[in-house]
Amino acid sequence: MSVSTPALGRVEGTTAPAPERRHPRAALAAATGLLFLPTTGLVAALNPATARFGARVPIIGGQLVMAAGLAGLCLAPAHAPTLLIAALMIPVGVGGSFTVPPITALLMDSVPADRAGTASGILNTSRQVGGSLGVAAFGAVAVAQASFLHGLHISYLTAAVLLAITAAASMTLPRVVR
């Protein structure tokens, strides 16, 4: 859930919640979808890292890269071009690509085969709840500020700090996947 909350909460930054609160970076649905296209391709391309380094290295590294990407989004100017925002979102996608598959592997390897379905269901439910809470909480912070951009910056920085904390906590994970 710690990865889902900030990762899915970032979606709120690409679209405005209501037309009267539209932010200069707000995009149409198709443009928003294109912003996430690099992330989708990176998931498949970067997953072999777990086999090479074990689970802990990609989980910690991925969370730190996600945090750096969110911090980078905070520094983007209000009228930044869509391509710049897409480029700044790449580290967030890369970090997620490194983080989520090894977390899944750790969980699935730690339960008996007859409980794999239950474990998978709990993991996916936790990710969905974390994502929903992230969108709700970070979206509420973003729209509650005098400036939507200021609210986005608070949300992104909060998510970056949470990711840094979970990266530190991930130091206790086993070094390799069984």
What pLDDT digit, counting tens, does each position of 107-133 carry? Answer: 888 899 999 999 999 999 999 999 999
Exposure string over 74-88, b if 16+ CB within 10 A, otherwise e: bebeeeeeeeebbbb
Read off the DSSP letter of residue 173.
S
Q: What is the pLDDT of residue 125?
A: 95
pLDDT range class, residue 57, cuts 50, 70, 90 = confident
Cβ count near 66 (within 10 Å): 29
Asked whether the predicted pLDDT for residue 10 surpasses 60, the reply is: no
Asked whether the predicted pLDDT for residue 25 surpasses 60, the reply is: no
Could you read off the pLDDT of 128-147 as tens digits, one per residue?
A: 999 999 999 999 998 898 88
Asked whether the predicted pLDDT for residue 47 surpasses 70, the reply is: no
Q: What is the pLDDT of residue 86?
A: 84
In the predicted model, what is the mean pLDDT of residues 2-10? 52
Q: Are 36 and 94 in contact (CB under 8 A)?
A: no
Instruction: Tell me what the pLDDT averaged over the chain comes to.
Output: 80
Domains plus CATH for the chain? 4-172 (1.20.1250.20)
Asked whether the predicted pLDDT for residue 18 surpasses 50, the reply is: no
CA distance 107 to 178: 11
For the chain, how far is it from start to end, CA to CA, in angstroms? 23
Q: What is the pLDDT of residue 52?
A: 76
Of 82, 96, 70, nearest in space to 35 by CA: 82
Task: List the single range of 36-50, 105-119, 138-152, 156-170 with lowest mean pLDDT.
Answer: 36-50
Cβ count near 119 (within 10 Å): 16
Q: Are 9 and 62 in contact (CB under 8 A)?
A: no
